[in-house]
Structure 1
Amino acid sequence: MLRNEVFSCFVFYAVLLVVKMYAIAVITGQLRLRKKAFANPEDALRHGGLQYHREDPYVERCRRAHLNDLENILPFLFLGAIYSLIGPSLSVARLHFLVFFVCRVLHSVAYLMPLQPPTRSVAYTVAQIPCISMAVQILMSVAAYA
């Protein structure tokens, strides 16, 4: 399977995206500790008392960034895997994967910093273009069999 250059390229970007998702989760956990804002009472008790069983706006921002990754990266993983098996050109596939990856990194940075409002929404929107493109190409390649 990894002899398929397009699939290997997909795997490279997919793993980078999963590592990025883990990084956001770690950042969220570290921020919970630093801000003493725990989602579970037992965690709050362990770190100082029930008064720390609370929400913090910065922790919630990180958590939303992580949830947004889950909502967008998981569909990309499915689409990218199938797309890489339908025989696209390596350069076109690499462009799809790279655009999605760069936009998702920019989206996370814009979410966590927070950067000016258009940055995050533009990154989100541009990241959808390769996903839509891959979905259309997948559907076109299997339409004859449906």
Structure 2
Amino acid sequence: MAVMIRNEVFSCFVFYGVLLVIKMYVVAIITGQVRLRKKAFANPEDALRHGGLQFHREDPFVERCRRAHINDMENILPFLFLGAIYSMIGPSLSVARFHFLVFFLGRMLHTAAYLLALRAPTRSLAYTVAQIPCVSMALQILMAVAAYA
């Protein structure tokens, strides 16, 4: 059974939102693979399964991957909330698509900068660029609902 989303802005939001969630899953998989490759396990039972308690340890690159994943959760989850509400206030499709695309590209660059340890300030700039559409959406939402408050 096909489900049709009649709100074009919401449909566009869903497209980018799902891509971002998939990206988060990919980063989680990368983190797990790096743990296996580096033999650096967060839990003693995992270390025992893979060679012994000496592998219950931290590794700098595993921690880098973990921080990238945590940063995604800190930023993508609020975007998912803001984007869903923003889609309901009736923005133009082209402006909304631009907001969603800028956030998506900013987060992709941020993750690449984190995982590949790109030179500063690449990661900070990517973070800032991705925050601009979130601030814009939040302000537009507040202005749209201010009349009802």
Question: Which TM-score bucket, shorter chain as reference?
Answer: over 0.9
Amino acid at match of 2:140: Q
1:144 corresponds to? 147
Task: Give me the whole-angstrom Cα distance separating, in 2, the residues matched to 1:28 and 1:41.
Answer: 17
CA deviation profile, 1:59-99 (whole Å, cap 9, x unmatched):
00000000000000000000000000100000000000000
1:33 corresponds to? 36
Structure 1 residue 85 corresponds to structure 2 residue 88:
yes
1:19 corresponds to? 22
1:96 corresponds to? 99
Q: TM-score, normalised by structure 2?
A: 0.97
Correspondence for 1:70 among 73, 77, 94: 73
Task: Give me the whole-angstrom Cα distance separating, in 1, the residues matched to 2:107 and 2:5.
Answer: 24
Query: Between Structure 1 and Structure 2, how many residues are aligned?
Result: 146
The within-5 A match list for 1:123-138 is 123-138=126-141
Task: Give me the whole-angstrom Cα distance separating, in 2, the residues matched to 1:33 and 1:139.
Answer: 46
Structure 1 residue 4 corresponds to structure 2 residue 4:
no
CA shift, 1:2, in A, is 1.1
Structure 1 residue 115 corresponds to structure 2 residue 112:
no
Structure 1 segments, 4+ long, off by >2 Å, are: none
CA deviation profile, 1:99-141 (whole Å, cap 9, x unmatched):
0000000000000001011100000001000000000000000
| Residue segments in structure 2 that go unaligned for 5+ positions in a row | none
Amino acid at match of 1:120: R
Amino acid at match of 2:90: G
Q: Secondary structure at the match of 1:117?
A: coil
Task: Give me the whole-angstrom Cα distance separating, in 1, the residues matched to 2:42 and 2:63.
Answer: 10
Task: Give me the whole-angstrom Cα distance separating, in 1, the residues matched to 2:88 and 2:119.
Answer: 38
Q: TM-score, normalised by structure 1?
A: 0.99
Task: Give me the whole-angstrom Cα distance separating, in 1, the residues matched to 2:105 and 2:130.
Answer: 8
Amino acid at match of 1:79: L
Task: Give me the whole-angstrom Cα distance separating, in 2, the residues matched to 1:117 and 1:44.
Answer: 34
